[in-house]
Structure 1
Amino acid sequence: MNKKWFALSIAAVVSMTTLTGCTDSTKIKQAVDQALVKQNEIKSSSYNGSLTLSLGDGLLAATNPLMNGLLGMAKESNLDWNGAVNKEPLQLETDLTFTPKGSSTGTSIPVLIKDSKLYFNMPAINKPDEYYSVDLQQISKDSKSALNVDSLKNTSQVTTALAKLLLDGIDAKWYKEAKDPLKLKDGASAKSISIEISKKNEQALNTWVQSKLPEFIQTLQTNGLMTAAQADQFKNGSSKSLKIDAPGMLTFAIDDQGYIRDQVMDLSFSIANATGNTVSSKVNLHQSVDGINQTPAFKKEIPKNVKSFNDVLKLLGTAPKAK
Structure 2
Amino acid sequence: MMNTVRARRKPLLRAAAFAVALLALLAGCERTPARDYAAEGEAWKARIADAYERNASLDNYRFEGSIAFPTKGEPTAAAGPAALLPMLGEGLSWSGILYRDPLRLEADVRFEGTAGGDGAAAQSVPLLAQDGLLYVSIPPVNAPDEYFAIDLAEAEAGTGPLPIRPLLDAAAAFDDLAYAIVDRVDPQWIRTPDVALDGDGGAAESDPAEEPRRFVVEVTEENAEHVAAAFREGYAVWAERLPPELGADRLSIAGDASFSLAPGGSIAISLDENGYVVDQAVELDVVRGAEASSEDGSATDASSSAENASSDRFAYAVRLTEPNGSPELTKTVPPNVIPFKDVLAFLLSGADAANP
Quickly say closer, same or farther: Cα 1:134–1:53, change in 2 above 3 A: farther
For residues 74-97 of structure 1, the C-alpha deviation after alignment (integer angstroms, 9 at most, x for no partner) is 5235x3332100111221101234
- Spell out, residue by residue over 1:221-268, the C-alpha distance to the aligned partner (whole angstroms, 9 max, x if none): xxxx3369x99x98xxx9675466313421112111111111112245
Confirm or deny: 8 A CA contact 1:93 1:113 kept in the other structure: yes
**SS at the partner of 1:38?**
helix
- In structure 2, the residue matched to 1:169 is 184
Answer whether contact 1:249 1:266 (CA < 8 A) is retained.
Answer: yes
> What is the rounded CA distance, in whole Å, between the counterparts of 1:183 and 1:49 in structure 2?
18
Once the two structures are TM-superposed, the CA of residue 289 in structure 1 deviates from its matched residue by 0.7
Aligned residue for 1:118?
A: 134
Contact persistence 1:145–1:227 (CA under 8 A): no
Between structures 1 and 2, the one with greater strand share: 1
Q: Does 1:253 align with 2:270?
A: yes
**Structure 2 counterparts to residues 158-307 of structure 1, below 5 A:** 159-160=175-176, 164-182=179-197, 185=200, 189=204, 191-205=213-227, 220=241, 225-226=242-243, 241-242=256-257, 245-247=260-262, 248-267=265-284, 282-307=313-338
Residue of 153, 156, 159 corresponding to 1:141 = 159
- Contact 1:243–1:270 (Cα < 8 Å) also in 2: no
Identity of aligned residues (%): 21
Alpha-carbon deviations, 1:108-153, whole Å to 9, x = none? 432112233221224544333311222233341257899599x759
Report deviation, 1:24. Answer: 4.1
TM-fit CA distance, 1:159:
4.8
> What's the offset of the Cα at 1:280?
8.3
Q: Is 1:55 aligned to residue 71 of structure 2?
A: yes
Write the letter of the residue equivalent to 2:89: K
Q: Give the residue type in structure 1 aligned to 2:216.
A: S
Which residue in 2 is equivalent to 1:95? 108
CA-to-aligned-CA distance 1:53-93 (integer Å, 9 cap, x gap): 333225343457x949954xx5235x333210011122110
Q: Which amino acid aligns with 1:43?
A: D
The CA deviation at 1:50 is 2.2
Structure 1 length-normalised TM: 0.65
State how far apart, in whole Å, the 1-side matches of 2:61 and 2:270 are.
16
- Aligned residue for 2:56, secondary structure, equals helix
What is the number of residues matched between the two proteins?
A: 286
Q: Does the C-alpha gap of structure 1 residues 143 and 93 become closer, same or farther in structure 2, counting only changes over 3 Å?
A: closer
The higher-RCO structure (CA 8 Å, 6+ apart) is 1
2:305 equivalent in structure 1:
none
Q: Find the counterpart in structure 1 of residue 48 from structure 2.
A: 32
Aligned-partner Cα distance in 2 for 1:30–1:36: 10
Query: Which SS does the other structure have where 1:41 is aligned?
Result: coil
- Equivalent-residue separation in structure 1 for 2:133 and 2:344 (angstroms): 17
Deviation at 1:205, TM superposition (A): 4.8
Choose which of 145, 148, 158 in structure 2 pairs with 1:132: 148
The one-letter amino acid of 2:94's match is W
Are the aligned partners of 1:199 and 1:246 in contact in 2 as well (CA < 8 Å)? no
| Counterpart residue type for residue 109 of structure 1 | V
2 CA distance for matches of 1:28 and 1:294?
A: 27
> In structure 1, what is the Cα distance between the partners aligned to 2:225 and 2:345?
45
Query: How far apart are residue 184 of structure 1 and its match?
Result: 6.5
Q: For 1:251 and 1:108, how far apart are their aligned partners in 2? A: 28
Q: Distance in 1 between matches of 2:63 and 2:172?
A: 14
> In structure 2, do the counterparts of structure 1 residues 56 and 249 end up closer, same or farther at CA, with 3 Å as the change threshold?
same
Q: Which amino acid in 2 is paired with 1:166? A: I
Inter-CA distance 196–298: structure 2 relative to 1 (3 Å threshold): same
Say whether the 8 Å CA contact 2:110–2:124 is kept in structure 1.
yes
How many Å separate the matches in 2 of 1:281 and 1:60? 20
Give the AA of the match of 1:226: P
User: 1:82 and 2:95 equivalent?
Assistant: yes
1:280 and 1:291 map into 2 onto residues whose CA distance is 36
Work out the CA distance in 2 between the residues paired with 1:283 and 1:166.
13
SS at match of 1:82: strand
Q: Which runs of 5+ in 1 are unaligned?
A: 3-12, 272-278
